[in-house]
Amino acid sequence: MRLINLIIATAILFGSAQLALGQKLYRWVDKDGAVHYTDSVPPEYAELDRDILNKQGVRIGGEEGAKTEEERAEEARLAAAAEAEREAKAAAKRRDQILLDTYLSVEEIELLRDRRVELLEARIKVTEQYLTNLRKRMVELERESQSYRPYDPDAVNPMPANLTLDMKRTVGAINLYEGTLSTTRNEQQRWHERFAQDISRFKALKGISCLLYTSDAA
């Protein structure tokens, strides 16, 4: 025990001499649990935290050790997440302000919603009519093609080239309009969801009770 106290005392005296020269005294613990008193930390222990002592050997501060690659990566991840959260909050605040600046009432939002949905509904009906006509046309072409044997090179009455081309174009048009119809229906659904969110948020910002609003509307 006396030997340990002597070692510590010697280290502190050494540290005091170094401090007198304007140097810091560090106290740090290595990976084996041994306590060290030095005026610098060896590079291989740079990642360890250490205490800064005054000339009486009393802790007056501390320094964090060099961060590992994993620690730096985690710090970067947390910083990126925090920045993304700040940006999301700022974007939400801007959307709220736009909502309040654009509409005066729930009725205005619903009116715009109905107009937008009606336009899309009209586009859907026109597309459906095109598809109905194209499918009818395809049935007629298929019926006409049945009198020919397109895969028989010895057929006396081969299928005309214009009939083959017409069938090909009709199939292509059907595929195109089916894709357009699907896209328009999806767009219509997205607008329904977007306006529903806007109405809900507008009510929240204005402090409108959904139950009260429904009762008044009835």
Tens-level pLDDT at each residue, the chain (218 residues): 554 454 445 545 544 444 444 567 878 687 777 887 887 777 766 677 777 888 777 788 777 766 667 777 887 898 899 999 999 999 999 999 999 999 999 999 999 999 999 999 999 999 999 999 999 999 999 988 887 765 555 656 677 888 889 999 999 999 999 999 999 999 999 999 999 999 999 999 988 754 444 444 44
Q: Output the pLDDT for position 151.
A: 57
Residue carrying the six token digits 């019926």: 143
Say whether 88 sits in a helix, a strand or coil: helix
Distances (CA, A) of 177 to 81, 82, 167, 186: 43, 45, 15, 14
* 66 DSSP assignment: P
Predicted pLDDT at 28: 67
pLDDT for the residue numbered 3? 47
Q: Which residues contact 142 (CB under 8 A, 6 or more apart)?
A: 167
Distance CA 32, CA 191 (A): 65
What was the pLDDT predicted at 110? 95
Contact by Cβ (8 Å): 46, 65? yes
How would you label 121-140 residue by residue, b for 16+ Cβ within 10 Å and e otherwise?
Answer: eebbeebeebbeebeebbee
Q: What pTM did the predictor assign?
A: 0.54
Distance in Å from the first CA to the final CA of the chain: 89
